[in-house]
């Protein structure tokens, strides 16, 4: 079996999960122009809620998953209503800084409720890997990729082909014009945050199933920043393609460069790409360039 093809396939599958988490960033940014730096903590809390339902409540996964998504949606609405809505009209940098503080608060709550111990998920997917002949996709990555594709398809459909999506796109384009057309901008904001919390929770469950969870799971949210900068802050397609690229490059660096420099390259590759993209094309591959004339 060609190790290079195995690396590409595994990176592609992992990139799908990155793209799903990046989708949460994009949904909020498209509607509110806010970069939510607490996405990682939404992931962590969603993963712990699902794990609690599976272990403490002994609920089957088909019940634990909808319960977790409902919790995530409510959390997103509460955060938007209590924390973000009072900041409407304030400078964007102030709102972004608040999301950093929000992440610390959510991490603290997770620490108090579940403790900092590392936890493993019980088996929730069939353990058989997918044998493609030229490469093997582990079960966790396979089902994570499937979930990522399903969620991406659902949210893309909602955003492009429904009245709700039309309202979100109108709000993203011009909030004043959307208000004049009778669209509830505040409602769109709350919906965007709930959607983003749902995608983050699903991402947390997928990663938890693959590698377990702890209160430090949220650091993956920072890694996903490279994905959305690469793909474009306001592009759903860019989030997915950026996830694939980062996932593949990360795997390639882990195999071919870690052995040369003694390790650690895989962890920093996304941030190296982040810096390069910011220097060359700061609005990403599919992002909309903003031109200011002075």
**CA–CA distance from 20 to each of 85, 96, 97, 106 (Å)?**
25, 21, 24, 21
For 142-168, the pLDDT digits (tens) are 888 888 888 888 888 888 888 888 888
Taking residues 233-252, report their average pLDDT.
Answer: 87
Q: Is residue 154 domain-resident?
A: yes
Q: Is residue 241 domain-resident?
A: no
pLDDT given for residue 221 in this prediction: 80
**CA–CA distance from 190 to each of 36, 78, 157, 167, 282 (Å)?**
13, 8, 19, 12, 28
For 51-84, the pLDDT digits (tens) are 999 999 889 999 999 999 999 999 999 999 998 8
For 84-120, the pLDDT digits (tens) are 888 877 788 888 889 999 999 999 999 999 988 888 8
Q: Is residue 77 domain-resident?
A: yes
The domain containing residue 167 runs over which residues? 8-217
**Structural domains of the chain, count:** 1
pLDDT given for residue 42 in this prediction: 94
Q: Is residue 258 domain-resident?
A: no
pLDDT given for residue 198 in this prediction: 93
Q: Is residue 50 domain-resident?
A: yes
Torsion angle (degrees, nearest 10) of CA 202, 206, 209, 211: -130
Q: Is residue 224 domain-resident?
A: no
Taking residues 123-137, report their average pLDDT.
Answer: 84
Residue 34 scores a pLDDT above 60: yes
Question: Pick from 143, 150, 145: which is nearest to 125 by CA?
Answer: 143
Q: Is residue 292 domain-resident?
A: no
Residue 183 scores a pLDDT above 80: yes
Question: Pick from 207, 286, 231: which is nearest to 13 by CA?
Answer: 207
pTM here is: 0.89
DSSP 288: P
The winner for highest mean pLDDT among 40-44, 161-165, 212-216, 262-266 is 40-44
pLDDT given for residue 126 in this prediction: 84
Q: Is residue 123 domain-resident?
A: yes
pLDDT given for residue 292 in this prediction: 52
pLDDT given for residue 77 in this prediction: 93
What pLDDT band is residue 1 in, cutting at 50, 70 and 90? low
Q: Of all residues in the chain, what percent carry a pLDDT higher than 70? A: 97
């Amino acid at each position: 079996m060609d190790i290079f093809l195995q690396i590409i396939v595994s990176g592609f599958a992992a990139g799908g999960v990155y793209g799903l988490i990046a989708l949460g960033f994009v949904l909020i940014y498209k509607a509110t122009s806010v970069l939510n730096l607490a996405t990682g903590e939404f992931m962590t809390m969603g993963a712990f809620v699902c794990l609690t339902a599976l272990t403490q409540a002994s609920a089957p996964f088909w019940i634990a998953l909808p319960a977790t998504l409902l919790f995530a949606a409510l959390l997103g609405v509460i955060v938007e209503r209590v924390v973000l809505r009072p900041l409407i009209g304030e400078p964007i940098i102030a709102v972004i800084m608040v999301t950093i503080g929000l992440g610390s608060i959510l991490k603290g709550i997770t620490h108090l409720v579940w403790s900092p111990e590392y936890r493993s998920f019980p088996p929730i997917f069939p353990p058989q890997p997918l044998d493609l002949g030229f490469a093997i996709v582990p079960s966790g990555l396979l089902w994570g990729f499937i979930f990522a594709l399903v969620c991406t398809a659902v949210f893309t459909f909602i955003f492009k082909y429904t009245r709700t999506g039309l309202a979100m796109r109108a709000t993203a384009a011009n909030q004043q014009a959307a208000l004049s057309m009778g669209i509830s901008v505040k409602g769109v904001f709350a919906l965007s945050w709930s959607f983003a919390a749902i995608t983050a929770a699903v991402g947390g469950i997928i990663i938890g199933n693959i590698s377990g969870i702890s209160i430090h799971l949220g650091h993956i949210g920072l890694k996903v920043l490279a994905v959305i900068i690469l793909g474009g802050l306001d592009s759903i397609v860019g989030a997915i393609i950026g996830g694939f690229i980062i996932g593949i490059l990360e795997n390639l660096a882990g195999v071919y460069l870690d052995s040369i420099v003694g390790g650690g390259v895989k962890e920093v590759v996304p941030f190296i790409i982040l810096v390069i993209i910011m220097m060359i094309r700061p609005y990403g591959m599919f992002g909309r360039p903003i031109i200011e004339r002075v």
